[in-house]
Structure 1
């Protein structure tokens, strides 16, 4: 999947998650969700590889569970860069959204590779 397809999927997941969990996660508009998805994509391209390499020992010791915390931290960084119109109530809510985002991206990526979209 290319960058823009993944960005559109992230926008939909952000909007759906904000609708399902309004007390934990706030997105003020579709455009803010789009900006947040672009920022998250750029952070995942440039910052996340460095974090993954630096945290490799603890990720191995926790059998990969720490990788979810890296994803939650990436969402918190996105929230910080986008501003108050895209925010989480706590790190736990960012972790919940990271898990949902990971599962949805996994399912859609598997579907896309099987059907050659």
Structure 2
């Protein structure tokens, strides 16, 4: 899959994940459609550029907690996205935790589906 298509698919998946989290949690609110499109881009860019830096800084804590602290690196990416994106609000620690889990699950499920589809397409071309 060309990198441009992969970036656009990742952006769409982030938008879908944010929509699902908004639907599941009453204290997770995001405006439609401009803010959610922008938030999907911010979340993707934060995961590409900011997450490696935060992970590097948190390596001692990640090792000390046997990887549990890495989950909170993902929470920080969501916190950053909320801070940057307009009309986006998350109230409460447990909503951050739940939304992070939901966003991870949606990303995992949809990327698994994309991998199956792209894998099937590649096998048919052989």
Contact persistence 2:17–2:107 (CA under 8 A): no
1:90 aligns with 2:86: no
2:9 — aligned with what?
5
User: Where does structure 1 differ by over 3 angstroms across 4 or more consecutive aligned residues?
Assistant: none
Q: Could you state the TM-score of these two structures normalised by the residue count of structure 1? A: 0.87
1:21 — aligned with what?
25
Note the alpha carbon deviations across 1:55-114, whole angstroms, 9 max, x for none: 11211222222111111111111111113x111002321221111111121122223223
Superposed CA RMSD in Å reads 1.7
2:66 — aligned with what?
63
Distance 1:64 1:112 in 2: 27
2:57 — aligned with what?
54
1:80 — aligned with what?
83
Q: Number of matched residues?
A: 115
Q: Is the radius of gyration larger for structure 1 or structure 2?
A: 2
Contact persistence 1:76–1:91 (CA under 8 A): no
1:31 aligns with 2:71: no
Q: Could you state the TM-score of these two structures normalised by the residue count of structure 2? A: 0.81
1:103 — aligned with what?
105
- Higher helix proportion, which one? 2
**Segment of structure 1 superposing worse, 90-99 or 45-54:** 90-99
2:122 — aligned with what?
none
Distance 2:64 2:79 in 1: 24
